[in-house]
Amino acid sequence: MGLIEKNDNGSWKLKGVEWSQIKPGAVITEQVWEKLYGALWKLKGYEETGFSPDQVSELQEETQERDAWLAYAIEQLKQGGDHGIKFFINKDGIADVYDDTYDITIHCESEEDQKDAKEALKKIWRWIPVTERLPEPETYILVSFDNFTLPDIATYRVDDDGSGAFYPGDEDYTYLSVGFFVNAWMSLPEPYKAEVEEKPVRPAAGECDCVPEDDQGDRCDPSREGARQGDADR
């Protein structure tokens, strides 16, 4: 199948053609011409793949490893073993071993949990192109623009005639009317909620909780603070 043949001494040549047959001044016979044309045709096909020689070697190694693993998996299945081996049809239409090393599994206790998980996945925080899907009307979202670098909080509203547009927040004008072109949007994150209730820190007994000195030059009066503490104790 190869175009080149090598001798034991390491020299090489085009298979079926001697160097003397193609040296300067040599008459190219029809047989030699066919060999040269065939070699150039194969070279053309190789270059059209866009692969470098190193990439071809890597692809060959990967294919050999995959074939070896497939042969092992098939043999295990023939012997009745399971071993958790799964197959799928890849993009080339060829059966391949399914590798779940980097899969993420979501465990659901019920059908309701599964529905909630699906809804949560739909709300994954990512930019959604307006050509892919539009947001729910009258909801606050984050939008990006073709002609501006910073995103903005917006709403998407639908008119009575069914046409929709993006508006800055609660404003009555559209982005388009002022020359901004929305290209994508995403849902806003939920407001922050502390896992543990945060309580304001109170000063210890006898400590002053006033500002030491404000802009008017008023200073803390420790006697006043002590009186206030005494009132609290009573």
Q: Domain residues of the chain, as ranges?
A: 7-48, 54-97, 122-187
Q: Kindly report the average pLDDT of the chain as a whole number.
A: 79
Of 77 and 55, the one with more pLDDT: 55
Q: How many CB atoms lie within 10 A of CB 32?
A: 17
Helix spans in the chain (H): 30-48, 53-78, 111-122, 222-233
State the distance between the two ends of the chain, measured CA to CA, in whole angstroms: 104
Ramachandran region of residue 114, left (φ > 0), alpha (ψ -120 to 50) or beta?
alpha
6 vs 185, more confident: 185
Structure confidence at residue 221 as a pLDDT band (50, 70, 90):
low
Taking residues 178-188, report their average pLDDT: 93
What's the pTM value of the predicted model, to 2 decimals? Answer: 0.37
Q: Please state the φ and ψ torsions of residue 155, each to the nearest 5 degrees.
A: -130, 155
Give every strand in the sheet of 152-158, ordered side by side. 128-129, 182-187, 140-145, 152-158, 164-168
Residue type, 5: E
What are 19-59's pLDDT values in tens digits? 888 888 888 898 888 888 888 888 888 788 888 878 888 88
